[in-house]
Structure 1
Amino acid sequence: MKIDGTRVHDRATELVLAYYAAFNRGDWAAMQALLADDVVHDLNQGPREAGKPAFAAFQQRMARCYREQLRDVVVLASPDGLRAAAEYVVHGEYLQADEGLPPAHGQQYALPGGAFFEVRDGLIARVSNYYNLQDWLAQVR
């Protein structure tokens, strides 16, 4: 399917790539601009949160506790552009203890991760993140 000469699955792919480019720059406002107001965020092995305010709080916690870059990002999108998936490798540093997790003292880690996206009206309506928590814990202990 095409809209304005661009295939909708290409638009979904570009949207997700823009989201991760903003993440890698630490540009939280740019990430927020790509989200629907009622965005649903499924945290890895955590609760489901909804809305931009909850997502902003998540971003603040991430910035305080972690310094991360996503590399080797690969994005796939459905032909209708309504779903997308991403795979990547997280390269990070654990800066400050996150609630319920081990103490932080600058431990570095690298682990594969992935996410699933729902796209609505050209914006990200859902992000579901996944990585192997046990692998991360082994690397920071």
Structure 2
Amino acid sequence: MKTLEATPATTEANKQVVLAYVEAFNRADMAALRRIFADDALVYGVLGWGTMDQVIPVWQELHAAFALHLRVEAIAADGDNVMVRYLEQGQSVGSFRGGPVTGKTYEIVAMEHFVVREGRIERRWGARDSAAMNRQMGLPLG
């Protein structure tokens, strides 16, 4: 695989790709997310990992159950690697995998690490405090 030399311009462009991901994710625009991610992208998160075909239904479930929104609080990039710290907010508005609906809100810290190449996201790792999220919404922890 050919590696491109990181320049300030490519580093900034990679940050813009990730910010476009955040905007599309907040809109629950799955078609836009598919365009932003590479065809062979892999996404790793608290519910496991998978391809876009596997992850999109999970993201749809999360949006339907928790009306979630990401607000970028910090973003840093080094070449192909982009890291973001978010304030994630949401509300229990629908059942998630058979769980109760409480109507309660939550606010947690979430972080994601991306690898961006040739203008598309190839890898995404996500971490969030799911226990605090469930506790704030009065949902079971396990």
Normalising by the smaller structure, the TM-score range is 0.7 to 0.9
In the TM superposition, what is the alpha-carbon distance from 1:121 to its structure 2 partner?
Answer: 2.1
Q: Does 1:121 align with 2:121?
A: no
In the TM superposition, what is the alpha-carbon distance from 1:25 to its structure 2 partner?
Answer: 2.3
In the TM superposition, what is the alpha-carbon distance from 1:70 to its structure 2 partner?
Answer: 1.3
In the TM superposition, what is the alpha-carbon distance from 1:105 to its structure 2 partner?
Answer: 2.4
Gap regions ≥5 residues in structure 1: none
Q: 1:72 to 1:119 in 2, by over 3 A?
A: closer
1:27, 1:73 → 2: CA distance?
22
Q: Does 1:103 align with 2:100?
A: yes
1:99, 1:26 → 2: CA distance?
18
Number of positions where the alignment pairs a residue of Structure 1 with one of Structure 2? 133
TM-score (norm 1): 0.84
TM-score (norm 2): 0.84
1:20, 1:34 → 2: CA distance?
10
2:49, 2:68 → 1: CA distance?
22
Percentage of identical aligned residues: 23
Partner SS state of residue 138, structure 1: helix
2:26, 2:97 → 1: CA distance?
23
In the TM superposition, what is the alpha-carbon distance from 1:73 to its structure 2 partner?
Answer: 3.4
Gap regions ≥5 residues in structure 2: 1-5
Higher strand share: 1
2:29, 2:73 → 1: CA distance?
18
1:63, 1:135 → 2: CA distance?
18
Structure 2 counterparts to residues 66-85 of structure 1, below 5 A: 66-78=66-78, 80=79, 82-85=80-83
Ranges of 4+ aligned residues in structure 1 off by more than 4 Å = none
Q: Choose the corresponding residue for 1:86, options 84, 87, 104.
A: 84
In the TM superposition, what is the alpha-carbon distance from 1:56 to its structure 2 partner?
Answer: 2.0
Report if aligned partners of 1:16, 1:75 keep a CA contact under 8 Å in 2.
no
2:43, 2:112 → 1: CA distance?
10
1:107, 1:76 → 2: CA distance?
32
